[in-house]
Chains A and B, each alone.
Chain A
Amino acid sequence: MMKRDECFKILARHVTDEIVVSTYSSAVDWLALGERTLNYFSVGAMGLDSSHALGLALGRPDKRVICLQGDGSFLMNLGCLVTIAAAAPKNLVHLVVQNGTYEANGSHPIPNNNADFAAMAKSAGYPHAYEFSQLANFEQQAGHMIKQDGPVFATLRVEPSRPLTYDYPKLYDAARREAIKAALGRP
C-alpha cells in the first residue's frame, strides 16, 4: 500500500507550471513539499475541490489543472464526475486519494472503502481512468498520466497517514489567494 506523501513527492517531480488544487489532508501534504504561487487552497466547503478545479480548467484552457481530492470529499460531490466528463476539459487531471477515512474529521471510515472510483469515472465518461496501489507503478506512469488529454482520473490507494496538524488559517491565507488570482487573471 502506498503513502500519500510519497505519492505527492513523485507527483511533484513532474509538476512545473500546473495549477494544483488541494484541500484538507492532501493540502497539508502538498504544501509540505514547498510553496508555489499556483497552489489553489481556497476551497471553503468540503466536496467542491473538483468543482473549483473544473472552473479553473475552463477559465485557463492554456494551463493544466491537477486536483488532489480526498475520498471523503470526492464522495460528497459524486455528481462532479458527470459534470466534468460532459464539460470535457482536456487540461484537467483529477486524482482521488483513497485512504478509506475522513482523516481530517477523526479518521472515521468512509461508508464503503471497496467502492471503485476509477470505474465510476470511466462510466461517467472520463476518457482515461486509473487506479494505483503500488508506488513503483505510480512512479512509472505519473509523468505520462498527467500530460494526457483529459479529463484524466486516477485513484491513489493509500494507507491512512501519520497524524497531521491542520493550520487552516495559514492554509487558506487571503494573501495566498490573491497571489494566485493575480497570476491567473486576465490583465
Chain B
Amino acid sequence: MDADLVEEPGAKALLKGSGILAAIKASGIEYILSVPDITTSGGLLRPIARDPQLKLVRVCKEDECIGIASGLHYCGRRALSLIQHTGFLDSINAIRGVAVEYRQPICMMIGLLQHDPDTTPKNSPRYGVRIVEPILDAMGIPHHYLGEDADVAKIKPAIDEAYAKSFPVALLIGRRPTAS
C-alpha cells in the first residue's frame, strides 16, 4: 500500500477529506491545480483525481498554479491550487505579483508538512511551518486554519470572499485528512 494511504492504528478521523471535497465543490471550484503533498495526498488528491466533477491539472512546480489560475479566472473559471507549504514558499514572487499586486482571487489550499496538529502553526516545531502565517500576514493575504472537521465550514465563505473581493486566500491544512 502506498505510504500516504496508511493510517495510524487507532487514529481518529478528525479531518475528513470527503467533507473538504464537498466544500470545494460547493464553492464552485472547477479546476484543481496541484503538485502532490504528502499531507493531502491520500485524503484529498487521490479522491480529486477520481472525481469526474473536478478537472485536475498536475503541474511540475507550484508557481505554475498561480499563472494557470490567473488565466482561468480571466475566463470566469474558479480554480484551487492544492500544494505543500514548501511549494508556497517557493512561489512567493508569483503570489506577490499575480495574486496580490494584480488583485486576483488565487485560492490556495496548503498542506503543512510535518506540522504537529496539537499545536498552532505559529508554534510549530518545524521552522518552515512556523513562518507560513507570518509571511501571509506580511503579504496581507487572508488565511484560515483547517485542523478538524468543524473547520471545513470555513472553506466556502473564504473562497467566495476571495472571488467577491478579487484577492487571494490561503487555507492551511494542519493534519492529514482521511479519505472518507
Contacts and interface: CB of A to CB of B under 8 A. Distances in A.
A90 to B, nearest CB: 15
B67 A55 contact: yes
Interface string A32-74: 0000000010111101111111111111100000000000000
Nearest to A49: B67
B58 interface: yes
A43 B98 CA distance: 7
Contacts of A185: 74-76
Contact of B68 (A47, A51, A86): A51
Contact of B94 (A45, A59, A181): A45
A86 B74 contact: no
A80 B66 CA distance: 12
Contacts of B68: 51-52, 54-55, 58
* Size bracket of the B interface: 20 to 34
B64 A77 contact: yes
A80 B11 CA distance: 39
Given A44-B98, A181-B74, 20 more contacts: A42-B70, A42-B98, A43-B98, A45-B93, A48-B64, A51-B67, A51-B68, A52-B67, A52-B70, A55-B70, A55-B73, A56-B72, A56-B75, A57-B71, A58-B72, A59-B73, A60-B75, A79-B61, A83-B60, A87-B57
